Structure 1
């Protein structure tokens, strides 16, 4: 019988299968240079993504590492296509509380806010995430990525990000003083 490694189970299987295969200490291991939470955050089964990731956070898994693409756990989570925004918000909140830097750049120089901007959701649907990001000190809206765009410039490319753009401009104008 073929045994699937715990990293692939975290990414491809449901919570029940993960819990059956999980052994104490798995959260401390590195798989192909990545913490186990990188795999659970990219699970396409939404319930399993949130349940496994929260379980690993409860086990104090290392969240301050990056993958080969220089992405943080926030980049990986927010880079997924499907989301339950309420659960994504709560997971982001936990990751930030555990010290993940919202201004950390990935290998393309993009902050996690750019990943939020790209989500296929309205500004209204993303309001909770916006509130979380804007509540953090020193939110980086202006540093450029490898293509020469900042988060605020990126938001301007999307016609459905008008309320976010207004909020970003207001935030930047307050920082100018």
Structure 2
């Protein structure tokens, strides 16, 4: 029966469509667990396609299934894809964010033009700090988050957040308090 195993999904177009905007039934019809880490989509994985799904409830459901099946969280910037969406169910997606971090997604990955996952979320000015709090809670609870590393445009993450203080004041205050609590010197605010 091993000859029945396929190296790639039977219908990659149907799978792609199901992951981005299909129904749960579309996904189930096009997906096989042995293809969970199929890499035939340039710049995307099945997980990142699911994380970009138009419907946040299906985004969570499909991505959860892929994670259950062993999706690789280290390829193609899944944290950035999730937090960078324009529509969210923040409470449901915070659990997904936590799970990807627990599975090894890089909280400090810097994506050119977007910065770290925290910067990517904070740059979504259509959302208030209050709306983004479930994401902030997950990200800032991580002991491995580096808030003074170079981020967007090579500046320290905190410096970038400070530039957005008018819209991200609550976040800046949380980050500064966290750094003080951890004994990390705050970057010079004039830089």
Output the TM-score relative to the length of structure 2. Answer: 0.79
Match in the other structure for 2:133? 127
Q: Out of 40, 47, 72, which is 1:31 matched to?
A: 40
Q: Is this contact kept in 2: 1:27–1:61, CA < 8 A?
A: yes
In structure 2, the residue matched to 1:163 is: 170
The CA distance in 2 between the partners of 1:3 and 1:102, in whole Å, is: 30
RMSD (Å), alpha carbons = 2.2
Q: Deviations over 1:1-43 (max 9, x none)?
A: x983312321121222111221231213112243210111111
Unaligned runs of 5+ in 2: 1-10, 187-191
| Residues 91-111 of structure 1: CA deviation (Å, up to 9, x unaligned) | 101100101110111134711
Work out the number of aligned pairs and report it: 171
**How far apart, in 2, do the equivalents of 1:12 and 1:176 lie?**
45
2:171 is equivalent to residue 172 of structure 1: no
Give the superposition deviation at 1:80: 0.8
The structure that has the greater radius of gyration is 2
Give the gaps of 5 or more residues in structure 1: 67-71
For the Cα contact (< 8 Å) 1:7–1:39, is it kept in 2? yes
Map 1:71-150; keep pairs closer than 5 Å.
72-108=77-113, 110-119=115-124, 120-145=126-151, 147-150=153-156
